[in-house]
Structure formats: structure tokens, C-alpha cells
Structure 1
Amino acid sequence: MNIIIVGCGKVGRTLAEQLSNEKHNIVIVDIIEKKIQDTTEDIDIMGFLGNASSINTLLDAGIETADLLIAVTGSDELNLLCCLIAKKVSKCHTIARVRNPVYSKELGFIKQSLGISMIINPEHAAAIEIARILRFPSAIKIDTFAKGRVELLKFKIKPEFKLNNMSVMEFGERYKNLILIGAVERGEEVSIPSGNFILKDNDIVSVIASPINSALFFKKIGIHTHQVKSTMIVGGGTLSYYLAKILLSMKIRVLIVESNAARCEQLSELLPDATIIHGDGTDKNLLLEEGLTRVESFVTLTNLDEENILLSLFAKKNSNAKLVSKVNRIAFDDIIEGLDIGSVIYPKYITADYILQYVRAMQNSIGSNVETLYQILDNKAEALEFSIHDDCPFLNIPLADLDIRDNLLVACINRNGVILIPRGQDSIQAKDTVVVVTTIKGLNDIQDILKK
């Protein structure tokens, strides 16, 4: 597809890289020449210098033949304007990033009135992901499929779980029909494991199950599964506001530490049920005085990645809290993953996942379309949910009889709300949704699971 990306910041660059890897024709537009230059040197795409709110700029960038325009500049209004102009001069789909909470209640109206295909709010999406983790603090990461009926949970195997040296086949027999191992990370290696794969302590395992079954499984191996009752958030930005609002609705006590006095006043008005502390979040004594040792979760959401990571390390040393850190840059993600600081949230990856999901759904072929997509295992694999159509060419054929590609697992079938962990004799039927986990990138259709 021909795709124009307006805005060459963190999200724009991430999208350009991932969409280029999927063989789309990408043109990136920005007003800063150095950003264009750096991006086009690193990624094999076209760059165009100019203001995309100008019709002439968009025409020069190829809007008339574009299939999709994605506006992810730092300005909500500019993003909406770019989409509006694009709709006036072409038939392309449009996606806008809109972050300001002022617009949050009006997004449906804006989308419909301006004819925008999709509006994405990165901070709100990240807040939902953090809240999901605090509901189930034993997991490092949780993704959901089938409208919340299926979860993909990532956790680290510890000696007390007694899973060391157990094969995936033995694991399946012991926890029959409860849960399925979808992927295993061991150091730099990522595996979609077969039945003979041997689990080891310190492996990071991604499992797939219904919320009830995942809770039962974690209870069986002795992991605490109840949501946290309290949280301390360092940093009072937009993401903190969205997160606090969700947590308060979940009856979780919220305390926010913010250094800007005017922002504290604002948050006090917006979040009357939260405790807002005006102070330096890097002041160790302040954190201890405000109850760091007693709090059940500690979330670092400042604008400095280094600060977020160091604060989490301090909290790990001084409390038993569930730790969540926001990281914007990913140059040192391998080092960060090795620090064992709980859950690390990358807002730009979350945004990219939503947009990639839309792009894949746009180009689906006859058998199915992509409902949900997540980049998992440090971006080395994908978990996708396909909605199955009546014209899928291999309906009602047992999975064991299908020539399924290597490094790919049909992990779950949702049939009219009933969740099946599939075995060899199960088959895919029309109107199912099917979850697939694979290290093969770029699957667009359920037919792509088969060897050519």
C-alpha cells in the first residue's frame, strides 16, 4: 500500500520502520530537515520536507494515490487538519493521533464529522495496559483478545513454581485445558515451543487462557493474583491522569507525586478522589515518607526514561510493590529487560500496534481479517486474532491435517464466546475468531498460517 506518515517523532519513526518492513511504500513528511534525513538514512523510505497542513505539500507527497495517511505530529489540531485535507483531495483512509484529554469525550463526534478512519490516543492506550497489569500484578505484561475473553500473559518462571525441567507436553498434561504456552524467551532466544521443549527457571513465558483459567493456573503454582489496592505514581502528566482515573474507578487508592505546583492544582481539581503531592519524585525521603514501603504498586511516568528506571530500582530495594515503568526510547531495551524491574511500558509500541492492526485489516484477503495485533517478545514475534469468514478455504479440517508453518502456533479459538485451547482434532469454523502466535512477521490473512 502507499502510506504517508506525517510527523517524524518516536511514533512516526517506529511506524515507518515497521510498515517498511512489511513492504509498504512509505513517504514520511516533517518540517524538520534533520529528522527526515536521519530517518531516510536508517530506513529505506521516501522523505518529504514541508508542512502537511498545506494541500500542496500533501499533493507533492502523493496524497492523490495514497491508500492511507497517518498523522502523528505533536499537535492534535494539526493531525486532525491533515486528515481533513487528505479526505478532501483523495479517497484514502486516515488515522490521527489525538492526545489532549479535552477531546477525549468528543472523539466519536470528531471521527464521524471529519470522516477519520481511526483516532488513537497513546496515553489512554498505555493507561489501559498499565491498569490491566495492576489488576493482575503477577504478570509482566497482559494483552487481550476476543473482546477480553482471552488473555496473553507474560511471567517469569521462579524456582518456587516447580516448573524447572518440565517439558511443555508435561505442562499441558498437568494443567489440562487451563492454559497454553505460546512462547518462551530465554536470554536472546525466542521460541514458539513444541511439546518436547524443556522449561527452565528464569525463562519468561507467555501463556494464553481465559481470565478465569489464567487466575486458576497462577493460584495453582502459588502466585498472588488479586489486583493491587493502592498505587503511587511519580509524574503527573497526561498518562498519569488517564491511569489515575481508571484506577480510581477500580477502587484502587491513588497517590501522585508531581514537581510542578500548577499541575498539582490542576490534578487536584480533575481527580478529587486521588491524593496529589507537590514534591520532587526523585527525593528518596519524600517517597519513603509518603508510604513507598507500604504501597502495593509503584508506577514511574516521568518524561525521563533514566529517572523512571532508577526510581523503579529504588522501589524494588525498599518495597514489595508491583513495579511499572514508562520508557519512550528503545535504544537500550535489551539492558532494561535485564534489570528485572517488573513491567516496562513502551507507549509508542502500543500506538504502533493499533495502527498496524488497522493496516493489516485494510489489506486482508478472502479468508479472514485481522481483529487484533500485538508485537510481543521484545518485538521479535506477533500475536494476532483473525475473524474467520465463510469463504475461508480450510473450514472444518482438523488442525493436525493442515500443513501449518514452522514457528507458528494456533493458540486459541473463540467460538460464540466459548474459548477453546485447540488440539490436533479441533478445526476452524466460520465466524470463529482464532488467535495465532508466531515469529513470522507480516501475516495478513488466516491462509498465511499454511506453508505455501
Structure 2
Amino acid sequence: MKIIIVGCGKVGTTLAEQLNRENHDITLIDTNDEAIQNLSDSADVMGVTGNGAIYQVQMEAGIQDADLLIATTNSDELNMLCCLIAKKAGNCHTIARIRNPEYSAEIRYIREELNLSLAINPELAAAREIARILRFPSAIKIEPFAKGRIELLKFLIPEYSNLDGMKVVDVVSRLKSNVLICVVERGNDVVIPDGNFVMKKGDKISFIASHQDSAEFFKKAGIDNNSVKSAMFVGGGKLTHYLCNLLEDTKIKIKIIERDEERCRRLSEQLPKAMIIHGDGTDEQLLLEEGIRQTEAFASLTGFDEENIMLSLYAASQSKAKLITKVNKIAFENVVNSLNLGSLIQPKMLTAEIILQYVRAMQNSMGSSNIETLYKIAADKAEALEFRVKEGSPILGVSLEQLKLKDNLLIACINRGGTIITPRGKDTIQAGDTVVVVTTCTGLNDLTDILK
């Protein structure tokens, strides 16, 4: 597909790289010629220097032949205007990044009036992920499937867990747990394990289960999963604002440390249940005075990756709190993954996932299945996808044991009208099912792509 991306910031760059890898024809628009040049040097993309909200600039970028325009500049208003012009000039699909909390209450109206295909809010998406984690603190990451009926959870096997040295096949028989282990990350290796795979302490395990079954699994595996009663957030930006709103119905006592006095005033008005502290979150004495050693969850949510990493490392040295670290640009991924940073939250990657899901569904609108959900499990090394199966698919009615599946691929779950089926060899896929597939073969667009 021909895709135009307006804005060469973190989200625009990530999207351009991801979509380029999936062989789409990418054209970038940005006022910064150097940013376009740098990305053009590293990826096979075209560049147009100019204001993406100018009709002539969009024409130069080829809007009349484009399938999709994605506006990801730092200005919500500019993004909406870019999409409005693109709709008139090219009649293509449009996606806008809209971050301001003031717009979030009216997002449905904005989408309808501007005829947007999708409105993306990176901070709100990140806040939702953090809220899920705080409700289930043993997990590093939680992703919902089948409209929330099941979840993909990632956790680290600690030293004291009885999973250390256990084969995957023994999880059901020895622990009597109804979970399906899908992916194991060991160092830089990412594998889809078979039954004989032996898990070890330090492995990052991703498994699929219902919320109730996952809680029971953690208990039987000897992993604490006490709910969080207190949380300290450093940084009072948009993400923190959304997160506190999402946690309003919980009993978590929230403390926010923010250095900008005016922002503190706004937060105290908007978030009456949270305690707002005006101060420098990197001040060791302040953190100790405000109870970093006693808090049960600590999230570093400032706008600076390096600051967030250092804050989480300090929190880890002072407490046993559940750690959450916001990181936007990972320059040294292997180094960062080796550090004790708890759950890594990457708003730009979450945004890219949502847009990739839309692009693949759009690309395959005439296929035998539609992508409903897409998550990256280990950066670009593994994906979990949820497909809705249509009539006419060639794999309908064929038992799973007869399907010639690609290597390193697992059919993890079948949702049939709200009934969750853990797939076995004799099971078949039927029209109307949603099917969750986990694989290291990234880039699947249709359920038939699972076949060799």
C-alpha cells in the first residue's frame, strides 16, 4: 500500500521503519529536512519537506494515489487538519494522533465529523496498559484478547518459583493450571516452546489464560500477586493524568511528584483524590521523605528516558515496589532489557502496534479473516494476533493436527461465541471464530498465512 506519514518524530519514525519492513510504499512529510534525510538514509522511504497541512505539499507527496495518511506531528490540531485535507484531496483512509485530554471526551464526535478512520492517543494507550499491570502486579505486561475474556501475560520467573527447571508439558499436570505457555524470552533468544522445553529462573514467560486462571497459576507457581494499595508516580504529564482517571475506581493511594508548579496546580484541580507534590523527582532526599521505601508501586513517567531509567534503578535499590518505566526511544535495547526496570512502557510502540493492526486489517479486507488485535511480544521478534474468521476460509473444518503450520507458530486460543477453547489436535476452526496466533514469523496479514 502507498502510505503517507506526516511528522518525523518518535512515532512517525517508528511507524515508517515498521511499515517499510512490511514492504509498504512510504512517503514522509516534515518541515525538518534533516530528519527526513536521516530516516531516508536508514530506510527505503521517500521524503517531502514542507507543512503536511498544505494542499500542495500533500499533492507533491502523492496524496491522490495514497491508500492511507497518518498524521503524527506534536500538534493535535495540525494532525486533524492534515487528515481533513487528505480526505478531500485523496479520499484515502486517515489516522490522526490526538493526545490532548480535553479532546478525549469528544473523540467520537471528532472522528465522525472529520471522517477519521482512526484516532490514536499514545498516552491513553500507555495509561491503560499501566492500569492493567497495577491491578495484576506479578505481570510485566498484560494484553487483552477476545474482548477481555482472556489475556496474554508476561512475567519473569523468580529464583524461588517452582517453575524453575519445570518442563512446559508439566505445567498442566503438576500445577493443574489451565494456561498455555506461548513464548519464552531467554537473553536475546525468543522461542515458541514445545512441551519438552525446560523453563529456568530469569526467563520471561508469556502465557494465555483467563484472568481467574492466571491468578490461580501465579499462586500455584509460588509467585506473589498481592494487589497494589499505594503508588508513587514521578512526572505529571498527560500519561499520568489519564492513568489517575483510570485508577479512580480503585483503592490505590496515589502520590504524584511534579517539578512544574503550574502543572501541579492543574493536577490538584483535575485529580482531587491524588496527592500532588511539587518538587524534583530526581531529588533523593525528597523521594525518601515521600516514602519511596514504603510504596508498593513506583512509576517513572517523565519525558526523559534516561531520567526514568535512573529513577527506576534507584527505586529498585530502595524498595520491593512494582516498577514501571516509561521509555520512548531505546537506543541500547539489549542493555536496557538486562536492567531491573520492571514493566517497560513504550507509548510510541503501543501507537505503532495499533496502527499496524489497522494497516494489516485494511490490506486484507478482502481476505478470509480480519485482524482484530495485534501485539508485539518481544519488540520485533514475536507477535500475538487475533483473527476473525470469515466464511470461505480454506482452513475451516480441518482439524488442527492436519494443518501444515509454519515453524515457530502456535494457535493459542479459539473464541467461539464467547466460549474459550484451548486448542487441541482434534479441534477445528469455524466461521465466526476469533483465533489467537502467537508466532516469531512476524508480518502475518491473514489466517491462511499460518500455513507453510
Amino acid at match of 1:182: C
Partner of 1:241: 241
Contact 1:382–1:438, Cα closer than 8 Å, also in 2: yes
Contact 1:30–1:36, Cα closer than 8 Å, also in 2: yes
Amino acid at match of 2:4: I
Amino acid at match of 2:412: A
Amino acid at match of 2:75: S
Aligned ranges 1:120-139 → 2 under 5 Å:
120-139=120-139
Report the Cα offset of residue 422 of structure 1: 0.8
Distance 2:188 2:355 in 1: 27
Distance 1:172 1:8 in 2: 48
Partner of 2:388: 387
Distance 2:100 2:330 in 1: 24
Partner of 1:343: 343
**189-198 or 53-62, which moves further after superposition?**
189-198
Q: Which 5+ residue runs of structure 2 have no aligned equivalent?
A: none
Partner of 1:207: 207
Partner of 1:59: 59
**110-119 or 175-184, which moves further after superposition?**
175-184
Distance 1:176 1:22 in 2: 41
Amino acid at match of 1:77: E
Task: State the identity %.
Answer: 58
Partner of 2:325: 325
Secondary structure of 1:137's counterpart equals coil
**216-225 or 14-23, which moves further after superposition?**
216-225
Report the Cα offset of residue 175 of structure 1: 4.2
Aligned ranges 1:8-19 → 2 under 5 Å:
8-19=8-19
Partner of 1:448: 449
Secondary structure of 1:168's counterpart equals coil
Distance 2:310 2:342 in 1: 13
| Deviation string, structure 1 residues 235-272 (Cα, Å, up to 9, x no partner) | 11111111111122223211100001111001000111
Distance 1:303 1:50 in 2: 27
Contact 1:247–1:253, Cα closer than 8 Å, also in 2: no
1:170 aligns with 2:170: yes
Distance 1:292 1:340 in 2: 16
Partner of 1:396: 397
Distance 2:388 2:397 in 1: 15
Distance 1:113 1:282 in 2: 44
Distance 2:200 2:335 in 1: 21
| Deviation string, structure 1 residues 56-99 (Cα, Å, up to 9, x no partner) | 10011000010000000010000000000011112210000000
Distance 2:149 2:340 in 1: 29
| Deviation string, structure 1 residues 401-438 (Cα, Å, up to 9, x no partner) | 10011010001111111111111111111111110000
Distance 2:193 2:87 in 1: 46
Amino acid at match of 1:301: L
Partner of 1:414: 415
Partner of 1:35: 35
| Deviation string, structure 1 residues 23-54 (Cα, Å, up to 9, x no partner) | 10000110000000000000011111111111
Contact 2:383–2:438, Cα closer than 8 Å, also in 1: yes
Distance 2:127 2:211 in 1: 20
Report the Cα offset of residue 177 of structure 1: 6.0
Contact 1:132–1:142, Cα closer than 8 Å, also in 2: yes
**54-63 or 245-254, which moves further after superposition?**
245-254
Partner of 1:291: 291
Amino acid at match of 2:326: K
Q: How many residues align?
A: 451
Amino acid at match of 1:267: L
Distance 2:322 2:379 in 1: 20
Q: Which 5+ residue runs of structure 1 have no aligned equivalent?
A: none
Partner of 2:158: 158
| Deviation string, structure 1 residues 262-289 (Cα, Å, up to 9, x no partner) | 1100100011111000011011111111
Partner of 1:433: 434
Contact 1:408–1:436, Cα closer than 8 Å, also in 2: yes
Contact 1:6–1:71, Cα closer than 8 Å, also in 2: yes
Secondary structure of 1:95's counterpart equals strand
Amino acid at match of 1:58: Q
Report the Cα offset of residue 168 of structure 1: 1.6
Distance 2:358 2:178 in 1: 31
Partner of 1:93: 93
Amino acid at match of 1:382: E
Partner of 1:5: 5
Partner of 1:266: 266
Report the Cα offset of residue 172 of structure 1: 3.6
Distance 2:130 2:158 in 1: 23
Report the Cα offset of residue 176 of structure 1: 5.0
Distance 2:102 2:217 in 1: 41
Distance 1:164 1:110 in 2: 51
Report the Cα offset of residue 154 of structure 1: 0.7
Distance 1:317 1:421 in 2: 41
| Deviation string, structure 1 residues 99-139 (Cα, Å, up to 9, x no partner) | 01110111000000010100000000000001111111001
Amino acid at match of 1:7: G
Partner of 1:250: 250
Partner of 2:112: 112
| Deviation string, structure 1 residues 169-208 (Cα, Å, up to 9, x no partner) | 2224334561011000111111011122121121111111
Report the Cα offset of residue 349 of structure 1: 0.2
